[in-house]
Amino acid sequence: MLQTAPRSKRTTAKKAPVHERFREAFRWMLLARTMEEKLVSLYRGGHITGGVYIGKGQEAISVACGLFLEKNDIFAPLIRDQAGRSAFGEPLVDVARTYLGSRLGPMRGRDGNIHRGRPSDNQLAMISHLGAMVSATVGALMAKRFKGEKKFVGLTAIGEGGMQTGSCHEGMNIAAVEQVPLVVVAFASHDLVERAIGYGFEGYSLDGTDLNACLDVIGSAVKRARAGRPPQLVVAAMLRLSGHGEHDDASYVTDEIKRQPFAQDCLKLAEKKIVDLELVDAETLRSWRDDAAAKVEEAITTAQQDPQPAGEKEDWCALHTRELLDQME
């Protein structure tokens, strides 16, 4: 069953009613952008080991992924989902601690950057191999069904590249076989929504630069999944406004691509809507910025003061069942 929602037209978007959670969503986007700009700055200053992977341009889609989930739902975010992670409830200090390698973070220096999560709080910890989290989310939903829970959903994000993996294909297929309440949100510069037909998903596409559309369409998809409709696929058109990571200058993105409508900055568009429609006054907007900056500063300062892991003190045991650790030395 394919239902392709028309892409939002910006000319009519101003007249469309503003989603009731637009302001709240904008603040999460602002926080994510502020945090990631700080991380980029720290990386360029040589204070972050490994890499920094940001979601610039993807915040509108991502925030909608996290905003409509309840605590008991399952969220399997991907690389550029800072806004969604925050909206779902990830403490900002988790981000800082993971990037800065704190011993006190959720990954305790054992894994870094966006490879983080708190599975006990229903936020799965992604692995780098794209598509792998789709079936893991399906399994989490099956467990809830086994346990007799009701009205839960799971949501996972995937990029256009990740959608080409066998793992993603297998995961989406098995979701349809099991008829679990799954929402897959894809970020793409091509409209791949017709794939929904083959998978037995309901499919929707939207303009990923338009926060209002993201809230409407992804919010509705979550609602439908929760109500027992088939798995949902939402394909959001957008352009990553950065390289893959900060080591990548994205020089391969041509000016022609940058002029496309899907290459606009969703945060700027959302702020313009706030100003144009006078959703809040200038002073409130400024206070939101200040608040985001203060939260980021606090998270980074906290993480910078944390203890770092040490090789000689590390617990080199990859098993929960310690007595089964292979004694090699």
Partner 1 sequence: MSITYLEAIREAQAKLLREDERVFIYGQDVGGTFGGAFKATKGLAKEFPGRVLNTPISEDAIVGTAIGAALNGMRPIVEMQFADFSSIALNQILNHAGTHYWRTQVPVPITVRLPGGGTKGSGPFHSQSMESIYAHYPGLIVMTPATVEDAYTMLIEAVAIDDPVIYCEHKYLYYHLKADKLPEKGLPTGRARIARAGRDLTIVTYSAMVQESLSAAEELAREGLESEVVDLRTVKPLDTDTVLASVARTGRLLCVGESFPWGGATAEIIARVTSAGFHLLDAAPVRINAKDTPIPYHPNLWSAHRPSAKTIAAKARMLLRE
**Which residues of the chain form contacts with partner 1 (CB under 8 A)?**
74, 106-108, 110-111, 115, 117-120, 124-125, 127-129, 132-144, 146-147, 166-167, 170-171, 173-174, 177-178, 318-321, 323-328
User: What's the closest the beta carbon of residue 248 comes to partner 1, in angstroms?
Assistant: 23
Q: How many helices (H) and strands (E) does the chain have?
A: 12, 5
Shorter beta-carbon distance to partner 1: residue 177 or 275: 177
Between CA 254 and CA 88 the distance in angstroms is 34
User: What's the closest the beta carbon of residue 60 comes to partner 1, in angstroms?
Assistant: 27
User: What's the closest the beta carbon of residue 168 comes to partner 1, in angstroms?
Assistant: 9
> Whose structure tokens read 């789709």?
134
Crossing angle of the two packed helices 22-44 and 211-226, in degrees rounded to 10: 110
User: What's the closest the beta carbon of residue 173 comes to partner 1, in angstroms?
Assistant: 6
The contacts of residue 208 (CB under 8 Å, 6+ apart) are: 58, 60, 61, 187, 214, 236, 237, 238, 262, 266
> Whose structure tokens read 């003190």?
313
CA 267 to chain centre: 15
Shorter beta-carbon distance to partner 1: residue 283 or 326: 326
Shorter beta-carbon distance to partner 1: residue 124 or 236: 124
Shorter beta-carbon distance to partner 1: residue 176 or 279: 176
Cα dist. 239→207, 221, 255 in Å?
A: 11, 22, 12
User: What's the closest the beta carbon of residue 196 comes to partner 1, in angstroms?
Assistant: 18
Between CA 148 and CA 123 the distance in angstroms is 20
Phi, psi at 187, each rounded to 5°? -100, 125
User: What's the closest the beta carbon of residue 201 comes to partner 1, in angstroms?
Assistant: 15
Shorter beta-carbon distance to partner 1: residue 70 or 297: 70
Longest dimension (CA), the chain: 70
Shorter beta-carbon distance to partner 1: residue 57 or 154: 154
Between CA 99 and CA 96 the distance in angstroms is 5
